[in-house]
Structure 1
C-alpha cells in the first residue's frame, strides 16, 4: 500500500512539474526577448530559447509552492542564468574587451572615488565611449550576484542566518537604489521591478534603446560600488 501511495505521489509531482513547464513556455520567450536588443549579432536565438527551457524545467523541479513565492519569480533567475550561460559559451568577451574590464575593475576596487564612466575613463586612459561599451557588454555576460536580488530571486536555503543576511543585502540594495540620481533610479525600476524591455523604457524616457542600455550600465556601476562598499 505504501509503495502504491509513493508511486502516486511521484506521479502527481511529475504532473505538477510538467504543467508548470507547459504553462510557462511563453515566459521563457519573454525572458529571452528582454535580452534580444542587447545581444551581439549572430547569436542563435533558438539555442538561447532551448537553454531557457532547460532552466524552466530545473525551476519546475525545485519549486515549492508552500514558500509563498510566485513561480515566475522563482523561475526567472534560473531561466535567465541558463540563457546567459549559453550566451557566454558562444559569445565570450573579446580579448580587448576583457582587458578593458580588468582595468576598470582594478581602478574601481583600488580607488574609492567616483565610479562614473567619466571618472573611470580618466583613471584608465580609456575614452568614455570605450568604458560605456565595456560596461554594456559586461553587464549582460557577467552580471553581479546582487542583480538576482533586483529580479526578486529567493534563496533556497532556509537557514535563519542566511535569511537574515539576505534581508540585510536587500535593505542595502534598496537604500543604494534610492541614492541614485532620479533618471538612473527610474531606469533600474522600470527594467527590474516593472520588467520592461529596453525599447519600452526608451518610449517612456524618450531615449533610444542604446541610450537606455548605457544609462542602465551607468546605474548598475553605481549600485555595484555602493553595495560593495556597504557590505565589505
Structure 2
C-alpha cells in the first residue's frame, strides 16, 4: 500500500484496542521498520541525536501508532512509517538540533543559490552551485542534507495534519477529496521525482541507496527530493 492509500485510510478508534501482549508482539514485528527509518534519517541530521536514542523515540512513535490504529492490517505499515518519522522529527525540533549560527549560515547559502538561479534563469548545476557557495563536494552534500532535513520536517507536518484530518472525516465523499488532493500532488511531479518520493517514503531508502538505483549522485537525489516535496507541499497546503 502506497502513500496515497495510507492517507486515505481513517484511523478512528473503531479499529479496536490491542492487548499489551499483542502490542509487544507487533512492536517486535515492526521493529525493522523503525530501524530503516532511523538509518534513513540519521544520515541526514549528522548525529544530532544518538542512533539508539532515535530508535527508542521511533519505537514510542510505533507504540502510539498501534494504540491509535488498533490491530495492524495491510495499511498499518505505511501509517506507522509516518508516525515513527514524525516522532523522531518532533524530537529533533524540540532539541533545536541545528545551532543558530548553522541555521543562519544555511539561510545565507540558500539565498545565494536563489540569486544564482534567478541570474541563470534555471536551476544551477552541482558544479555551478558549489562554485557560487565556495564549497567542495563534501561541503555541498552537507548543505543539501541540511536543507532537505528542513524540507522533510515541514512536509511531514502537512502529512501528519492530512492524516489527522482523515481520522475525523465522516463520509466517503470527504475521504475521496483528501485522496484526490494527494494524488494531484503526486501527479504534479515528473517521473523521476515520483520515483524518488516513492523510494524515500514508501520503501524507506536512503539517499545513497536511491542514488545507486537511479544512477545519480547523492547531491542530485537531494535536489530532486527537495523540489518534489516543495511541489507537493504547495498543493497539499493550498
Flag whether TM exceeds 0.5 (same fold). Answer: yes
Structure 2: stretches of 5+ with no match in the other structure: 1-16, 134-142
For 1:113, the equivalent position in structure 2 comes to none
Question: Which residue number in structure 2 is paired with residue 173 of structure 1?
Answer: 182
Q: Which residue of 2 aligns with 1:201?
A: 210
Could you state the TM-score of these two structures normalised by the residue count of structure 1? Answer: 0.68
Change (3 A) 1:121 1:96: farther
**Matches of 2:150 and 2:50 in 1, distance apart?**
19
Displacement of 1:170 = 2.5
Paired residues of 1:74 and 1:154 also in contact (CA < 8 A): no
> Following superposition of structure 1 onto structure 2, how do residues 94-113 of structure 1 map, counting pairs within 5 Å?
94-95=99-100
Partner of 1:112: none
| Bigger relative contact order, structure 1 or 2 (CA pairs below 8 A, ≥6 apart) | 2
Aligned residue pairs: how many? 203
Q: Within the alignment, does 1:80 sit opposite 2:85 as a pair?
A: yes
User: C-alpha root-mean-square deviation of aligned residues, in Å?
Assistant: 3.9
Counterparts of residues 57-72 of structure 1 (less than 5 Å): 57-65=63-71, 69-72=74-77
Take 2:232 and 2:60, find their aligned partners in 1: how far apart are those partners? 30
Deviations 1:12-70 (A, max 9, x none): 8222112112222222111211212212245311111111111122222233238x553
Deviates more, 1:186-195 or 1:46-55: 186-195
Q: Which protein has the larger Cα radius of gyration, Structure 1 or Structure 2?
A: 1
Query: Structure 2 residue aligned with 1:143, among 152, 155, 166?
Result: 155
Unaligned stretches of 5+ residues in structure 1? 1-9, 104-116
1:136-192 per-position Cα deviation (integer Å, ceiling 9, x unaligned): 231234334343599xx576735415x644432321221232222332222122222
